[in-house]
A and B are shown apart, each in its own frame.
Chain A
Amino acid sequence: MEGTSLRRDWRVLAAVLVMVAIILFPIYWMVVTAHLPTRIVLSRTPPLLPPLSEMTFDAFGRALLRRPFLTWLANTMLVAIAATLLSLVIATLAGYSLSRYRSKAQELSGLALLVSKMLPGSLIVIPFFIMASRAGMIDSRLSLILANTSVGVPFATWMMKGFFDAIPRELDAAAAIDGCSRMQALWHVVLPVARPGLTAAAIYLFIVAWADFVFARTLINSPELWTLTTGLASFVGEHGVDWPGLMAAGSLSLIPVFILFVLLEPYLVSGMAAGAVK
């Protein structure tokens, strides 16, 4: 008995290691490349375990100083935070409505929200580009914020509906008896309970806006308004890519999302489970 369980543990451990290798190798390689001098990086026999004595932060310096990395970061932050806040408000109200009030209209709009999530971004971007250019909003962060909001709201609404479904209606009813208006009940009683859901939805929305490329590439022309993704992509077309510099910029661009994850991972797993699955 003891023996089999030990052997089983050993197998789980091996499987975990294989999985870690698959998941992490690309990221590991990005980080390693970022810390090596170009001379070693451009070798046909790259060292799988980097020599510690050769490690350098030069590429990070290049990414930060020679490229407007910090401008890209600031642009992305601004757009992502604004889009997250805007769509979180919209999605929370809509999710609450879908969860608490059932009628044909609710069901139809719920379905419309779901279907709208399935349209290709490269398709939406065409009319979006036309609308933005007619409104004189090409090269404007506002158009980018609105675009990311439209992308995030449908799924976030369903996540929030899932969370509100899990909160007993008696809670709102009790608040109403205590003299709260419906909005007050939502604000003071339901929302505090739904905080894990809000967090999960916020992470999802932030990631959506953070990762956007097609809208940023199409709606923004001026390099000083570029976001991280358009900035990173601009490295690639160049003759003789500065791989360590690019990998350094890539590593840096992943840090904010990673921090968000480590802090909020428990909410995310339960949030996706409640919102996406139920």
Chain B
Amino acid sequence: MRILRDDRVFALLLLAPAILCVLGLVGWPIAQIIGFSFVEGAKLNALGGGARPLGFGNFISVLTDPETWDSVVTTAIYVAGATLPAFALGLGAALLLNRSFPLRRALRCLALLPWAAPGVLVSIIFLWLFDPSYGVVNYLLRSFGYHGEDIAWYSNENTALAAAILPTIWKGFPFFALTILGALQTIPADLYEAADIDGANRTQAFFNVTWPGVRGPALLALVLNGLWALREFDIIFATTGGGPSRASETLGIRAYLEAFSYYDLGRAAAIGVLTLAIALALLAVARRPLQKEFF
């Protein structure tokens, strides 16, 4: 009995720094955000000064603002647009990297490189690729017979969001490739042999052997990547800054701008709480696969 108690104390002691870290550096900030969202008229420069009335003013102001709902739609497009193609690309890459061919290890390293490149650097590379006058993308378009005006990908309202999604896909697909590759390597080879003996073709083998083998990790990676896209900041901020005319302004960008450009902490916090609510709703939807994979 005593040993059991000691064990528990020891276990909690080991966990304590992490709990402290999460509570102090994540939990407390979140509590503060929720607190600020109820403080009427909270400005960044008026912090800590005197008591202010509490109320739903920030939420009313944010939720009745059509711009907020524009941002919600932009966020949804961004998340779906960045996650699903990255998933498809990552699955393809994983299937490919699971086969043997010369230089496979080198290719694995290279395939990971976009994932390791800082978001800001990725943004800068894409800004250059998509530069209106000197960008190689417009040059390639011209050489394939496009004769219209130069497309200013990042400062054109119609293309800015898509142009911010592209680097996100490029940066995001190695994560899928990596997790799915890990799962592929756990599928026993005799399952494929059995499928072969049963006369399954390659498509059938994929749906009956490969997909069941990678489904859990793949779904988990989808959920994680979706949540990461929901919180993405670096790439959008460094490429378009949310513009032009708010064409790429997701909730994360909007919260940041409200706080650090308009100094409206209350509204920023209310937008933060809204983002949090969306993330939790997504998590609730994805609870089952998550639980199955983690516990």
Contacts and interface: CB of A to CB of B under 8 A. Distances in A.
Interface of A: 9, 12-13, 15-16, 19-20, 22-24, 26-27, 29-30, 33, 41-46, 48, 87, 89-91, 93-94, 96-98, 100-101, 103, 105-107, 109-110, 112-116, 118-131, 133-134, 146-147, 149-150, 153-154, 157-158, 182, 207, 210-214, 218, 228-230, 232-233, 235-236, 243, 246-247, 250, 253-254, 257-258, 260-262, 265, 268-270, 272-274, 276-278
A15 B170 CA distance: 17
Contacts of B182: 269-270, 272-274, 276-277
B72 interface: no
A131 B30 CA distance: 12
Given A27-B125, A97-B14, A253-B118, A19 B111 contact: yes
A265 B112 contact: yes
Contact of A101 (B7, B21, B126, B217): B7
Contacts of A211: 116-120, 234
A149 B124 contact: no
Contact of B48 (A120, A134, A254, A257): A134
A22 B129 CA distance: 13
Interface in B71-88: none
A29 to B, nearest CB: 6
B22 A106 contact: no
Contacts, number: 294
B93 interface: yes
Interface residues of B, number: 97
Nearest to A235: B124
B127 A236 contact: yes
Interface stretch (B57-65, B187-195, B267-275): B267-275
A24 B181 CA distance: 20
Contacts of A149: 21, 25
Contact of B233 (A30, A214, A228, A254): A214
Interface stretch (B156-164, B203-211, B250-258): B250-258
A210 B118 contact: yes
Contacts of B151: none
